[in-house]
A and B are shown apart, each in its own frame.
Chain A
Amino acid sequence: MVTRARPDAQALWEAVAGVPDPEVPALSVVDLGIVRDIRVDAGEVVVDVTPTYSGCPAMHVIETDIVAAIRAAGADHVTVRTVYHPAWTTDWLSESAREALRRSGIAPPAPTSRDADELIPLRRREAPPVPCPWCGSRQTELRSEFGPTACKAIHFCNDCRQPFEHFKPL
């Protein structure tokens, strides 16, 4: 009988870093900042995950993929726990994650502090334009506040005439 060496915490993080977000495959779930902790507790691997949006339909798939990645790394007993506090924010996206978004044509989120001053900002006070991820132009406009997934809005670039997605600051 062959027994594999138990993977250490770093190996587990590396394994989970290989799990892509099913809705934004350019990002791993670690890039996204939703994996909050990985620890080994009495032979069991416990992964803390926090949801992006309350109704994110990808959460179940993400949990299944994380369990599969950890099993593939050599650990048999895995529990994925959902933690709610502190709440996820797009400020947790790493700089490399933002660059990966840009490369796949998705404008990364601005820091959330930018719109925090007013409780219910009326959109009539124009928000600063989101730079186009394709050509960098600021001659862009918001086309739809809601996009194909909960985390994205649709903008249009008036210079390169391309629609693009914007990862909403949250």
Chain B
Amino acid sequence: MAHGDLVEYLLRLGDDRLVLGHRVSEWCGHGPILEEDIALANIALDLVGQANLLLGLAGREEGAGRDQDALAYFREAIDYRNALICELPKGDFAFTIMRQFLVSVHSVLLFEKLQHSGHTDLAGIAAKAFKETRYHARHCADWVLKLGDGTEESHARAQHALDELWRFTGELFDVDDVERRLIDAGVAADASAVRESWAQQVARVVAEATLRMPDDTFMQRGGRVGRHTEHLGHLLAEMQIVARSFPGATW
């Protein structure tokens, strides 16, 4: 197993959660009801917490003196390895919930495998994230049902969100040479192997929510090699400005 592969893989896992966690945190103080404001803030906290552990591990494995803060606040967009779906603007509540549902189901399936990784620390982080993410998936599935099977307006918004997000889901299941080598070494989980299970879980909830599964379509990709949408730069500008304006500040 090449060490660079492991660091790259940990960055992908960590960046997905950091960027999505930041997006979800944008709801803090803006949730549609108090309970949901707290729910989204808690989900964001879990995601940023997972990123903290994963990027911390990436930094230690890299051995170049970069900790999680250095990796989060002092990398450019082109160095970020998150999937594009994580960086899309939060949109309306239906869009945020639908994205969280789609990504959470993927995370549940991935972490379920990753908790058996041959890398002990990664396995421990994954075991914890698996349990947290199951809770997120259940919460979001419940909302997909409420929105889809709710009013005409909520149904339309949920369907629109699902249709808009669909072309960004393929990237979550891509396996390149880096991941293939780590899978063979017993370290990474094979994302391509959970695609069918993911589609079944999603289809089950979508059907019960009286929504329609989108048709297969061209899939957008590029995040894993640093080719991002224009949205990531704006997100990072906001997320990184304090750390970059006052490097090394503590409080």
Q: Which residues of A contact B (CB under 8 A)?
A: 50-51, 53-57, 83-89, 112, 119-124, 143-148, 150, 154, 168, 170
Contact = CB atoms under 8 A, between A and B. Distances in A.
B128 A54 contact: yes
Contacts of A145: 35, 39, 135, 139
A149 to B, nearest CB: 9
Contact of B125 (A54, A147, A168): A54
Contacts of A54: 46, 49-50, 52-53, 125, 128-129, 132
Interface in B111-167: 112, 115, 120-121, 123-125, 127-129, 131-132, 134-135, 137-139, 141-142, 145
Contact of A86 (B124, B145, B208): B124
B205 interface: yes
Contacts, number: 102
29 contacts: A51-B49, A51-B128, A53-B49, A54-B49, A54-B52, A56-B49, A57-B45, A84-B53, A84-B120, A84-B121, A85-B120, A85-B124, A87-B115, A88-B128, A112-B131, A119-B112, A119-B134, A120-B137, A120-B205, A122-B208, A123-B142, A124-B145, A143-B35, A146-B39, A146-B41, A147-B38, A150-B46, A154-B35, A170-B131
A81 B112 CA distance: 26
A42 B250 CA distance: 32
Contacts of A154: 35
